[in-house]
Structure 1
């Protein structure tokens, strides 16, 4: 079944990109290896589709609406990142600020030009799915700006590439916003008086993994655009601890049998609830004298 195989392939893609992040820790990012990896997995995904078959139109729509765009978004993101780094001018903060602002404006223009499909995609609507996410369909919504299709029509619909680009734009804007923020202020952790104080994680490292994945899956950092490896590296830096490969530590959590899968998060909740209950029960005695 294509959907099951594609899901496993996407997990492999994430693990490979995560390993690249681990190997290049502390080094200025070079998007080329990431782009090559994304291209490799996209080719593998295409082979799945060309050699297999979908179990009906519902599966085909699901694939081209949600699965393929995730793969494509990484390709678009790393290609755009490569171009941004290549075009980045050398100069003062004012020059760099204008450069990043211009790049963000391009994203805003893209969103304005494709507002209909963006609204449709994020609203969860499905009434036009057959027109947008089935192959070889001639009729499409009048508001759709048709992008360049893949060369092989067996592996593309009228809107899947556009959805991938929409997802990628969010990642690109997050990167640009971070770069602009660096121009306005220095790192809080490294340069504030508090940041100079050394903090050490004295609990089990696996507990930090629970926290990291909790933040990752709830999308609380950078509008959900921070990768799990980035979050783990941040924790390692703040707390002077070595966590290791996040996916392997997460596998330890999933393999728990006797304990809760979220043992540490459960302990935190219990501790907070207990403190709140204690505060609510405390009634100060009135001094009637």
Structure 2
């Protein structure tokens, strides 16, 4: 039961993000709405954790390594978007680009100094799990490691310290994608009334382009996500929006995380079977 409640929380985030349209003209209001929603959701998770606890240590580790950081990471991200946008210059052009570039520079410095230089970052990025019982179980905070001072401000009943570290990674990567989209938009305006276009969902195409990138199927893996995205947007006459954000949602969605690729495989096999008849 507890496991399902935590998983449902991730699904609620996805549904709320889909409900709110993140158009540029409404980004301040939308990011504020998501910040409020995620604060309330995190409070509900805390209340459930304090009253019900966990059914097992593996469930506890999964919550603090994967589930809470997704909620907290999104909360940090949307709050940053809100703060960046309310301070953004009204004028278009070079002024705005310089502003976003400055924010990106600060983000990179913060990421380098506070996140990527740490031993924990290398542990987490490598996919290791052998020390998860030390990093993601309650009551295991080791002050002898010289932890950041904010450790004294966290609630030890609802944080292992390192869940915040993972949330910071999630938030920084989302923020990087957001700022890059402001500095170098991928979108290409195309003439209308063309017969060749993408007729499936945007998420389906995003799933496909990440699969092509992961399999090194384009340019031997040397073509980056941004370049592949730009080509597919032009080819299929579609604007994909924040693909990195959509990909993060795919990684935690219920059911198959590769729903479109699974459907492609079935469709191709059925098509092959027809030729055999």
Tell whether the structures are fold-level matches, with TM greater than 0.5.
yes
1:132 alignment partner in structure 2: 135
Among 208, 211, 223, the alignment partner of 2:204 is: 211
Q: Which runs of 5+ in 1 are unaligned?
A: 225-230, 239-246, 248-252, 255-259, 273-289
Counterpart position of 2:181? 178
Partner Cα distance (2:209, 2:153) in 1: 32
Offset, 1:197: 3.9
Match of 1:198 in 2: 193
| Cα separation, partners in 2 of 1:216 and 1:82, compared to 1, 3 Å | farther
CA distance in 1, matches of 2:172, 2:197: 39
Q: Deviations over 1:188-222 (max 9, x none)?
A: 2x2xxxx114235789x6x4477346348749699
Map Cα deviations across residues 118-161 of structure 1 (whole Å, 9 max, x no partner). Answer: 22211112233233222222425736535456653211112111
Cα contact 2:64–2:159 (8 A) shared by 1: yes
Q: The residue matched to 1:155 in structure 2 has which SS?
A: coil
Where relative contact order (Cα < 8 A, 6+ residues apart) is larger, the structure is: 2
User: Aligned pair in 2 of structure 1 residues 134, 208: CA closer, same or farther (>3 Å)?
Assistant: closer
Asked if the contact 2:208/2:261 (under 8 Å) is kept, the reply is no
5+ residue gaps in structure 2? 215-223, 227-231, 240-248, 250-254, 273-277
Partner Cα separation in structure 1 for residue 175 and residue 212 of structure 2: 16
Contact kept? 1:210, 1:264, Cα under 8 Å = no
SS of aligned partner of 2:140: coil
Q: Secondary structure at the match of 1:154?
A: coil
| Kept in 2: contact 1:134–1:157 (CA 8 A) | yes
**Whole-Å Cα distance in 1 between the matches of residues 124 and 162 of structure 2?**
10
In the other structure, the counterpart of 1:89 is 89
Write out aligned runs for 1:228-267 (5 A): 262-264=262-264, 266-267=266-267
Other-structure match for 2:102: 102
Higher Cα Rg, which structure: 1
Tell me the distance in 1 between the aligned counterparts of 2:178 and 2:187.
Answer: 16
Counterpart position of 2:67:
67
Q: Confirm or deny that 1:16 pairs with 2:16.
A: yes
* Mapped partners of 2:238, 2:148: distance in 1: 45
**1:265–1:146: structure 2 CA closer, same or farther, 3 Å change rule?**
farther
Indicate the residue corresponding to 1:154 in structure 2: 157
What residue in structure 2 maps to residue 28 of structure 1? 26
Change (3 A) 1:40 1:97: same
- Measure the CA separation in 2 of the matches of 1:219 and 1:6: 31
Correspondence 1:47 to 2:42: no
Q: How many equivalent residue pairs?
A: 236
Return the offset for 1:56: 3.0
**Within 1, Cα distance between the matches of 2:170 and 2:212?**
14
Q: 1:217 to 1:37 in 2, by over 3 A?
A: farther
- TM-score, normalization by structure 1: 0.66
Q: Distance in 1 between matches of 2:173 and 2:37?
A: 20
Q: Structure 1 pair 106/217, CA: closer, same or farther in 2 (3 Å)?
A: same
CA drift at 1:61: 1.7
- 1: CA distance, partners of 2:7 / 2:57: 18
The alignment yields a C-alpha RMSD, in angstroms, of 4.0
